[in-house]
Amino acid sequence: MSSSVLAGPPGDSCFSKGVQHTGTPVGKTVQIADFPTYLSEPRSPVTGNNKVILYFSDIHGPLYVNNKLIQDYFSEAGFYVLGIDYFDGDPIDKHTNEENFDRQAWRSAATKRAKEWIPKWFDAIKESYGTDAKYCAVGYCFGAPYALEFANKEGVAAVAFAHPSSLNEDHFRSVKTPLLMSCAETDSAFPLESRRRAEDILVELKAKYFIQVFSGVKHGFAVRGDPDVPDERWAKEESARGILAWFTRFAKGVE
d(CA 246, CA 255): 12
d(CA 227, CA 5): 32
For range 33-48, the mean pLDDT: 93
d(CA 254, CA 206): 17
d(CA 161, CA 183): 8
Q: H/E element holding 215?
A: strand 209-218
The matching CATH number, chosen from 2.120.10.30, 3.40.640.10, 1.20.140.10, 3.40.50.1820, for 5-251 is 3.40.50.1820
Q: Where are the domains of the chain?
A: 5-251
The burial class, CB within 10 Å (0-12 / 13-18 / 19+), for 254 is exposed
pLDDT band with cut points at 50, 70 and 90 for residue 1: very low
pLDDT band with cut points at 50, 70 and 90 for residue 5: confident
CB 251 within 8 A of CB 51: yes
pLDDT digits (tens, 9 = 90+) for 57-103: 999 999 999 999 999 999 999 999 999 999 999 998 888 778 888 98
